[in-house]
Chain A
Amino acid sequence: MVILFAVFLLTLLVLTAVAIVRTENLFVAVMLTGIFSLLMAANFFVLDAADVALTEAAIGAGITTVLFLGALALTAEHEKSVSAGRWLSMGVVIVTTLVLIYATFDKPRLGDPQAPVHLHVAPWYLDKTPEIIGIPNVVTAVLGSFRGYDTLGELFVVFTAFIGVLFILSGRRGRHLPSNGRASSSTDQGLGHHLIPKVVGRLLIPFIVLFGFYVQFHGEYGPGGGFQAGAIVAAGIILYALLEGETQALKVVPPPALMGMVVGGAVLYGAVGIAGIVLGGNFLDYSVLADNPVTGQQIGILIIELGVGIAVCGALLSIFHAFAAREPS
């Protein structure tokens, strides 16, 4: 049954991918990328990877689509036709596909208990998580504690992307100062004059943000954690920006606060690691944070997830505002 679902979803994925490549309307392509991400999320869910599914749905299908649309508002709706080098790229794609298909022949069967991935450290993680960390969600334990270095690296990737996007996009921050004169037109921005989206949006925003916090702090017990929660809270605030106008949203969370969120989140994560050293353990060793090593692990994971959530939320909002602040060229 699972195989049937998976094959169905994968077929839809391939169809969507082909449609994305073939369409010349970039708006359609953006919508199809959203559908692609949602199908991917469903696929992850069928494979019991609820955490990854939640991330894919929140970031891939949600925020990325909004960011793509923001970018699209600055450019043309139709793809420029490029004819040079088509055969070369076609050749590269065909060769890569053949190599990948060849590589799958060595792949163990889906769910094979003898697969290398199930014989290395995974059994140890599954076995020791209740004893060492004492939380039900092993994914959070692996992500936050056992593989804390990797997650720190991921957070700094987000951080670097944030810096890169700001360097490329934000040249005209001064536009948002109230003295600029554009602030008076803030009522024209957004959907303020459309009653139904406004009312429903206002009704939903608190619940979206609340759900974000739930995903953040429930990550030790169920699917969730900092990355997903940051994206969901950012989605709530982006909805607010769409409804009330971007200027209004920047009043709620001003650019320095966004900067502080990204930097602060990353620093918070690093600080937990250094606190481990100061208290006599290794870097990112949470066991020394409290008298009881298990409690220490839980405190550490809670704080680093908070750092991840704050940083991701700040980075996504900054990128959104960076796109929204640009005039169409």
Chain B
Amino acid sequence: MDSASDVLSWILLALGGGFVFVGGLGALRLPNFYTRMHAASLTDSMASILILLGIMLQAGWSLAAIKLLAILAFLLLTGPTASYALANAALLSGLKPGSSADESKEN
């Protein structure tokens, strides 16, 4: 049981790390602001779920697990909100989605 949860925890952590990596790659390589943000924000939410679940399995049933759950709830609330605010601010400041020629604007 102990080793099973350990293996599961490491699988979750590795998957989370993979999501972070993909998100970072997307934020660097995708052509314009909105696609980059899309890559970074979606993978970020998924990665925080996976990584925090992985750490929670490591922590076991303890106060630390509940604290990690609180952190997860906080991240799941703030992350998408921050992405929304960022995209909204970009839209309001006149950056049109869909054009790949806005390279100069977001740098």
B-chain residues with CB within 8 Å of residue A196 when the two chains form the complex: 81, 84-85
Q: Mark A175-217, 1 if CB is under 8 A from B, else 0.
A: 0000000000000000100101100110110010000000000
Contact B88 A194 (CB under 8 A): yes
Q: Is the CB of B84 within 8 A of A204?
A: no
Chain A: minimal CB distance from B13 (Å): 15
- State the CA gap A153–B81 with chains docked (Å): 40
Residue-wise, chain B 58-85 has the 8 Å CB interface mask toward A (1 for contact) of 0000000000000000100110010011
Within 8 Å by CB of A204, from B77, B85, B88, lies B77
| Most chain A beta-carbon neighbours within 10 Å: one of B77, B81, B88 | B81
Q: Which residues from chain A contact B74 at a C-beta distance below 8 Å?
A: 204, 207
* Chain B residue at smallest Cβ distance from A28: B107
- In angstroms, Cα B88 to Cα A274, docked, is 54
How far is the CB of B88 from the nearest CB of chain A, in Å?
A: 7
| Complex CA distance for A201 and B85, rounded to whole angstroms | 12
Q: Does A200 contact B78, Cβ atoms closer than 8 Å?
A: yes
A191 to B85, CA, bound (A): 10
Residues of A within 8 A of B78 (CB): 200, 204
Which residues from A are CB-within-8-Å of B88? Answer: 194
Give B19 Cβ to nearest chain A Cβ, in Å.
20
Name B residues whose Cβ lies closer than 8 Å to a Cβ of A: 74, 77-78, 81, 84-85, 88
Can you spell out 18 A-B residue pairs with CB atoms less than 8 angstroms apart?
A191-B85, A194-B85, A194-B88, A196-B81, A196-B84, A196-B85, A197-B81, A197-B84, A197-B85, A200-B77, A200-B78, A200-B81, A201-B81, A203-B77, A204-B74, A204-B77, A204-B78, A207-B74
The 8 closest A-B pairs by CB, nearest first: A200-B81, A196-B84, A197-B85, A200-B77, A197-B81, A196-B81, A204-B77, A194-B88
